[in-house]
């Protein structure tokens, strides 16, 4: 059986790509999960989500820090996660998982359907929605 270089290095490349997608925030500097720009540009991308799906979930009252973690996870899922791969986050007494479907086109915009599952005190709730990328690169929810 002939494997060649591709066969020998593909598992290593896949493992590296998988691990690199699992990074966490680094004190608010640089990139978040390798995706979200820092500073005011990152804040613009987060605010463009208009509170994201997590704000539509009335079952959970999140702290400001947990809301930020949840919105960053939504952005990472929309921006870079392969379809169906969860982006998991954890806060104080709450965990979340955001799963985006495969991208699709609406006119000239890239869009994705996605879900955000929250678990608070053992109770799991899920919210679903969709978002499209604007010309400036920010994701905006569809109403």
Q: What is the pLDDT of residues 1-36, one digit of tens each?
A: 444 444 443 333 333 333 333 333 333 333 334 455
Domain range holding 73? 32-135
Do the domain assignments include residue 11?
no
In which residue ranges of the chain is pLDDT below 50?
1-34, 40
Q: For strand 104-106 and strand 123-133, is the pairing parallel, antiparallel, or unpaired? A: unpaired
Do the domain assignments include residue 104?
yes
**Residue 75: predicted pLDDT:** 94
**Residue 48: predicted pLDDT:** 80
Do the domain assignments include residue 108?
yes
Do the domain assignments include residue 141?
no
Do the domain assignments include residue 143?
no
Do the domain assignments include residue 125?
yes
Q: Angle at the Cα of 97 (from 92 to 98), degrees rounded to 5?
A: 130
How far is the CA of 3 from the CAs of 10, 11, 90, in angstroms? 10, 12, 40
- The total domain count for the chain is 1
**Residue 102: predicted pLDDT:** 97
Locus of tokens 């989500």: 49
Do the domain assignments include residue 13?
no
Q: What phi, psi does 53 have (nearest 5°)? A: -65, -30
Rounded Cα–Cα distance for residues 22 and 16 (Å): 10
Give me the residues paired with residue 129 across strands: 114
Do the domain assignments include residue 47?
yes
């Amino acid at each position: 059986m002939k494997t060649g270089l591709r066969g020998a290095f593909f598992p290593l490349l896949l493992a590296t790509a998988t691990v690199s997608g699992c990074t966490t925030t680094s004190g608010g500097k640089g990139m978040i999960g390798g995706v979200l720009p820092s500073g005011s540009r990152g804040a613009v991308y987060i605010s463009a989500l208009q509170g994201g799906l997590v704000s539509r979930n009335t079952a959970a009252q999140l702290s400001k820090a947990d809301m930020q973690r949840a919105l960053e996870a939504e952005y990472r899922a929309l921006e870079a996660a392969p379809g169906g791969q969860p982006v998991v986050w954890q806060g104080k007494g709450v965990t979340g998982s955001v799963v985006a479907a495969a991208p699709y086109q609406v006119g000239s915009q890239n869009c994705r359907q996605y879900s955000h599952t929250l678990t608070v005190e053992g109770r799991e709730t899920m919210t679903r929605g969709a978002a499209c990328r604007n010309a400036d690169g920010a994701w905006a929810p569809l109403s």
